[in-house]
Amino acid sequence: MPPVKTRLPAIDGWFTLDEEAPALLGSRCGSCGNFAFPKETYSCRNPECQGREFAEVPLSRTGKVWSYTNAGYQPPEPYVSAYPYVPFAIAAVELAAEQMVVMGQVVPGVDVDALAVGAEVELVLGTLYEDDEHEYVVWKWRPLDGAGGTPDGKGREDA
Amino acid sequence: MPDDRRVAVLGAGMHPWGKWGRNFVEYGLAAAGDALAEAGVAWTDVDYVAGADTIRNGYPGFIAGATFARALGWTGARVSSAYAACASGAQAINNARAQILAGLCDVALVVGADTTPKGFFKPVGGERRDDPDWLRFHLIGATNPTYFALYARRRMELFGATEADFAAVKVKNARAGLENPNARYRKAVTVDEVLASPMVADPLRLLEICATSDGGAALVLTSMEFARRHTGTDRLVTVDAVSTVTPTFPQTVLDMPGIATDSAAGSDSVGPTFKRSVAIAAYEEAGIGPEDIDLAEVYDLSSALELDWYEDILLCKEGEAERLLRDGDTTIGGRVPVNPSGGLSCFGEAIPAQAIAQVCELVWQLRGRAGARQVEGATVGITANQGLFGHGSSVIVSA
């Protein structure tokens, strides 16, 4: 049995590592309440606001597909691709409370045929790439209607 | 339009687009030479050089204005170098225009040229975890076609566009480009051929996504007073507007290279989309409306994106672009031909040259010198483009 690899975020501080219910970590302006992802750290992006204080807030874990596509060809570096390359879908998802759209890969096994504008999806953690000792994880969108796909999380079959 | 609001275009020049693999400076010099010759202006009479930068050719690309001035032979002319992604060329035009309108120079040369790598554009090298352009590739694998495809899918969902509509845009532009000696791809295609090409980013296929090309374009811009004196006529082609406005908050359409949009949660109202605001500002500056437009050159980075532009430059209402296309309104010979040059579809993108090339096409069209792709009787044209990081441009040219 291969040794269990350590799971590390592909980027620090952008999402929680809660395997059951992960969330993107955005910022909320202390002055005007504006949400931002990735987090605002210095100055509020709302031109009417002079805010400099930001709270870190988890963003909505579910949303509706604004649009979607797939990557039929292997993206260039700095994307780290598995060999052989396996195409994946990408969704841009509207978060209702934040009124913003966040893009992400869709979990493996779900292609465009299983997606639709307006379909509900939820945030999960999935492997972006790995090396000998680590799995680097990132947020991915997974359809909520059971449209298929592998769990792509802890204990997934292809690990 | 009063003379203190417009500048004359005395000459336009281009180096053919292709994958020539030579130094970008050569393409710029060839284009500049043609533009100066067309204008009948000597290089030594140019007092301002506005370069459009390329970021993929080292230091000479970052200071393009000086690079071209030195290669043409130092004359002491003042220079500027502009980078604004796809709108770099328009920013260079605007720099030259501002100098002329401010009375700081009479004759300006605008030049943009690029030598591009093969395949998807990727971020410049190095690991940069604070650069959105690096992060979108690394964390998602989101290429430029990813964004074009998200917009295309949205059109299908909201307005009932079909893959055949998108393919028809390619067919139209390929036919126009056949007649353009500066175009890289000069081959007619059928809808079936487009739909049989490999899927790159669903629903967009290989033949519907613009390539990356080498090429160069240049313009000679002058004050109205100089132009009248130099040509002995009042019949001049003029630049009446150069819109380079940036987006307004909140920007609610996902835009390259962003991973997320702004939040609209705190805003009472959301204004026009960025692309539309670019064109609206151009119309306001020129004091005309979309009904005055005879032809347009728009940034068809993808076939579907051209349809978005019909609406964003206000040729029709939202959701009506497919009808315009199907009715032949935007074909040469139609009501308002779009991309009679063949567009990016036939050129491929040479970033710093492209917005200048759009204006070159309008200039030749308005002079009646576009050969077999001529739009008969055209007197007013508009260009539009959008690139990364809140850059876009729209130029209105009239004769």
From first to last of its 399 residues, chain B has per-residue pLDDT tens of 899 999 999 999 999 999 999 999 999 999 999 999 999 999 999 999 999 999 999 999 999 999 999 999 999 999 999 999 999 999 999 999 999 999 999 999 999 999 998 777 778 778 889 899 999 999 999 999 999 999 999 999 999 999 999 999 999 999 999 999 999 999 999 999 999 999 999 999 999 999 999 999 999 999 999 999 999 999 999 999 999 999 999 999 999 999 999 999 988 888 899 999 999 999 999 999 999 999 999 999 999 999 999 999 999 999 999 999 999 999 999 999 999 999 999 999 999 999 999 999 999 999 999 999 999 999 999 999 998 899 999 999 999
Helix (H) or strand (E) holding A38: none
Put simply, the answer to whether A66 touches B264 (Cβ < 8 Å) is no
**How many angstroms separate the CA of residue A70 from the nearest CA in chain B?**
5
Q: Which residue has the higher pLDDT, A3 or B165?
A: B165
Residue A159 in this model has a pLDDT that exceeds 50: no
Chain A: give the shortest CA distance to residue B171, in Å.
Answer: 23
Q: Could you give the CA distance from residue B56 to residue B10 in angstroms, rounded to a whole number?
A: 30
**B2 — contact with chain A (CB < 8 Å)?**
no
Note the pLDDT of residue B122. Answer: 77
A47 interaction partners in chain B (CB closer than 8 Å): 249
pLDDT (tens digit, 9 = 90+) per residue, A98-146? 999 999 999 999 999 999 999 999 999 999 999 999 999 999 999 997 6
- Amino acid code (one letter) for B7: V
Residues of chain B found within 8 Å of residue A76, distances taken between Cβ atoms: 119-120, 122, 137, 143
Residues of A in contact with B123 (CB under 8 A): 78
The residues pairing with B242 across neighbouring beta strands, listed in sequence order, are: B395
Q: What is the pLDDT at residue A148?
A: 52
- Count residue pairs from A and B with Cβ separation < 8 A: 132
Cis peptide bond N-terminal to A84, omega within 30? yes
Tally of residues, chain A = 159
B130 touches chain A (CB under 8 A): no
Q: How far is CA B82 from the centre of its chain?
A: 15
Q: Looking at the predicted structure, is the pLDDT value of residue A67 above 90? A: yes
Q: Do A88 and B141 touch (CB under 8 A)?
A: yes
Nearest to A37 among B136, B142, B260 (CB): B260
For residue A3, is the peptide bond before it cis, meaning its omega torsion is within 30 degrees of 0? no
Cα dist from B313 to B277, B279, B294, B381, whole Å: 9, 5, 12, 11
d(CA A20, CA A154): 9
Using a CB-CB cut-off of 8 Å, the residues of chain B touching A101 are: 252, 254, 260-261
Query: Would you call the peptide bond into B257 cis, given omega within 30 degrees of 0 as the criterion?
Result: yes
What does each C-alpha distance from B252 to A61, A122, B33, B264 come to in angstroms? 19, 21, 43, 7
Q: Are B217 and B353 in contact (CB under 8 A)?
A: yes
Pairing of strands B204-205, B392-398: unpaired
SS3 content of chain B, % helix, strand, coil (to 5): 40, 20, 40
